[in-house]
Chains A and B, each alone.
Chain A
Amino acid sequence: MDSRQPLISLNGVTKVYRMGEIEVQALRGIDLQIVEGEFIAIMGASGSGKSTLMNLIGCLDTPSEGTYLLEDVDVAELDDDSLAMIRNLRIGFVFQSFNLIPRSTALHNVEMPLIYAGDSAQRLERALAALDLVGLADRAHHQPSELSGGQQQRVAIARALITEPAILLADEPTGNLDTESSLEIMRLLTRLNEQGRTIVLITHEGDIATFASRVVRLRDGLILSDDRQVPREPAGAEAPSEQAAAEAVS
C-alpha cells in the first residue's frame, strides 16, 4: 500500500438509482484509495457499475451512502456550485465521444474551463500551450468537425488539462477510435502520467488497461480485484509528441 496521503478516498460507497418502481443498486459498497501520481484502470463489463463510479469520482453525482473524500473534502457536503467548481478546477474529463462543443474552434473548446473559472489571465496563451502539449497547436482554429477522431480526443485532453486538475478522468477514451489512434491517446496519457498527472481510466478493454500501473476490476457494483502491474510502455518509450506532430503535418 502506498504511504502517501490518498487523493481520492472512497469508503463504503453505494449508489442506488430509482427507475420508476424499481431500485437499481449500481454500487454496493466500494472502498478505494487513489494516491497522487497513480495511473489506475477501472475495468468491468457493462452494468458492473464502472460508469456510476466514474460519475461519483468526477463529482457529477453524489453517493447514496458512504463517504467520498476528494483531497480530504467530503463531496457529499458540497452544494451544486461547489461541485461545479471542483469539476472545473480539480477534475479533467475525457469522454468516449470526445464531447467537444460543435461549431467552436479547438482553441475555444480548450479555453472554456478557464472561462467558467473566471480566470482570464493569458487565457489564449495557456489554451495554445495545452494544444501544443497534445501536438495540435496548428489545429487551434479548426472546428471539431474538421478534425479526425484522434485529434478531437487530443483536443478534449488538452481541455481537461487546462486548469491543471488533480485527476484526469478518462471514460473509455479510446472507445470510438481505431487501433492506431487508440495507441496514440494511450501513449499521451502515459506521458502525462510520467509527468506526475494522476489518471483514472475507465475501460472494458483489457488491452487498453495494460497501459495502467494498477487495475481495479468491478463486478455487480463490488470490487472484484485490485492489482498492481508493470505498465505496457514504461518511461523512456517512444516520445508520442513527435508522432502526433507527424500526424498533424500529414
Chain B
Amino acid sequence: MSVGEALRLAWQGLLANRLRSGLTMLGILIGVGAVILLVAVGNGASIKVQNQVQALGSNIVYIYPSSTKAGGVSQGFGSGSTLTQADVNALNDRSQAPDIVTAIPVAQASGNMTWQNQNWFAQTTGSTQDFAQVRAYDIKTGAMFTAADVTSSSKVVVVGQTVVDNLFQGQDPVGQQIKINRVTFTVVGTFASKGSAALGNQDNVAVVPITTAWNYLTGGRGKNISQIVIQATSADTVKAAQTEATNILLNLHQVADPTNPDFTSQSQQDILNATSQITGTLTVLLGAIAAISLVVGGIGIMNIMLVTVTERTREIGIRKAIGARRRDILLQFLIESMVLSGLGGLLGIAAGWLIALQIGSIKIAGGTLPQPVVSIPSVLLAFGVSVGIGLFFGIYPANRAAGLHPIEALRYE
C-alpha cells in the first residue's frame, strides 16, 4: 500500500470520528501552540534586552577601577580611583593601541537641576566631546560641546530627552540657562531619545565637559575618573582593543600580578553574553514547560489510537483476510496517528503565532510587553516534533493492530 493510500485511509478514519479526532488534536494544538508562543515571548524579551545593550554604543569596552578597601572593608565595585587622565591619554595613543578609535573618561556627579521654577534630578556625566559618538547618542537640536569647551572647562551642558520633557515644559532648551547643583550652565544641545530601557533610562542624562565636572560638580573628589569608555574600530577588533587597553594599563600602573590588576575591563560583548545567557535560560525554561503539555497531548493520541484499534479490530481482520500485510496495517495506523498529531501541530502553530502577534499590543503599566518574535526554526521544530509525537505514540497501538491474528480479529464483536 502506498503512503498516498494510507493518507486517504487515515483521513477517512479521522472523519469517521470527528469530535474524538478534534479533541485529540486539541491536546497537540495546545502543546505546540504553547511552545511556539512561549519560545516567541522568550525570544522577544531576549531581543529587546540585546537591543538595549547595543544602544549603549557600538563596539564598546568599559574600564572600571577595582574596588578599594578601607580598613579591610571592601568599598564595592568601582569605588577605587586608580584611573587617571594619563591612562586616557595613553589609550588614545594610536601607536600603542591601533584598534582603539577613541577612549573617553567619564566622571559621574549627582545633579539636581533647576530651570525657572522647575526642578529635576538626573545623573550628570562629565566627559569629552567624543561622548556622543562613543555612546551612540544622536544630537537632536543644538550641538555637542567642543574640545575647546573641555579645555576651558566651559559651563555648557547637553541634556537627554527625559530632562527636556520634565524641565523645559515644551520650550526649546537650547540657549537656556539651567542650574546644576546651583552652578549655572548653558544648554548647547539635546540628545535624541534612545527609547525606554531595562538597563536604566538612557534619556535621563546631562553631559558636561569633564573638566567642568571636576571643577564645579564632583566636589572634593578631585580629578576622579569613574570609568573609561573605549570604542574599538570594529566589532571584530573589540577583543583586540580590550587586550591592548589591558596591557597599556597594566604597564602604566606597574601592576606586578596581572591576575589581580587595579582595574577591570568589560566589553559590550561580555554584557551581551551575560544577558543572552539569562534570557536564553528563560526561553529554554518556558519552552520546557510548554513541552510538558506536548507530551501530555502525545499520551492522549496514544490513548485514542488504542481505542481506535480496539474498535476497528474487525476491520483489521477483514483487511488481513483480503491480503493486507502486517506492514500495511502498521502503516495505516501510524499514518493516522501522525496525521492526527501533524494536523494538531499545524493548527497549534497557527494559534501560537496569532496569539504571539497580539501580545505585543497588550498594554501593561508604562508601556507594552516585549513583542514576541516567532522564530522559523521553532516553528519547523514544533511541526517536526508534533509529527514525531504521532509516530512515537502511534507505534505501540499500530503494532498492536498489525500483530492481530486475522481469525481472532474477524471473530471480534
A112/B325 contact (C-beta < 8 A), A60-B406, A60-B407, A103-B16 known? no
B310, chain A: closest CB distance, angstroms: 15
| Contact code string B373-413 (vs A, CB < 8 Å = 1, else 0) | 00000000000000000000000000000000011001000
| Contact code string A106-136 (vs B, CB < 8 Å = 1, else 0) | 0000001101111000000000000000000
Query: Is there contact, CB below 8 Å, between B322 and A116?
Result: yes
Query: Is there contact, CB below 8 Å, between A113 and B322?
Result: yes
Query: Is there contact, CB below 8 Å, between A118 and B325?
Result: no
Query: Is there contact, CB below 8 Å, between A112 and B326?
Result: no
A99, chain B: closest CB distance, angstroms: 5
Complex: how many Å from CA A93 to CA B406?
Answer: 13
Contact of A87 (CB < 8 Å), options: B1, B2, B323, B326: B323
Q: Does A2 contact B (CB under 8 A)?
A: no
Complex: how many Å from CA A80 to CA B315?
Answer: 18
A99: chain B residues within 8 A (beta carbon): 314, 317-318, 321, 410
Query: Is there contact, CB below 8 Å, between A84 and B315?
Result: no
Complex: how many Å from CA A195 to CA B324?
Answer: 28
A159, chain B: closest CB distance, angstroms: 7
A102: chain B residues within 8 A (beta carbon): 315
Query: Is there contact, CB below 8 Å, between A88 and B407?
Result: no
Query: Is there contact, CB below 8 Å, between B410 and A84?
Result: no
Q: How many A residues have CB within 8 A of the partner chain?
A: 27
Contact of A85 (CB < 8 Å), options: B1, B16, B318, B323: B323
Query: Is there contact, CB below 8 Å, between B12 and A104?
Result: yes
A60: chain B residues within 8 A (beta carbon): 320-321, 406-407, 410
**How many interface contacts (CB-CB < 8 Å) are there between A and B?**
63
Q: Does A78 contact B (CB under 8 A)?
A: no
Report the nearest B residue to A82, measured CB to CB: B325
| Contact code string A26-63 (vs B, CB < 8 Å = 1, else 0) | 00000000000000000000000000000100101100
Q: Does A81 contact B (CB under 8 A)?
A: yes
Contact of B5 (CB < 8 Å), options: A61, A113, A115, A159: A115
A residues within 8 Å of B by Cβ? Answer: 55, 58, 60-61, 80-81, 84-85, 87-89, 93, 95, 99-104, 112-113, 115-118, 159, 163
Shortest beta-carbon contacts, A-B, top 9: A88-B323, A116-B323, A84-B325, A99-B318, A87-B323, A113-B322, A81-B325, A116-B324, A60-B406
List 9 additional A-B contacts (Cβ < 8 Å) besides A58-B321, A99-B410, A117-B323.
Answer: A55-B407, A84-B323, A85-B323, A87-B322, A89-B323, A99-B314, A104-B12, A112-B319, A159-B322
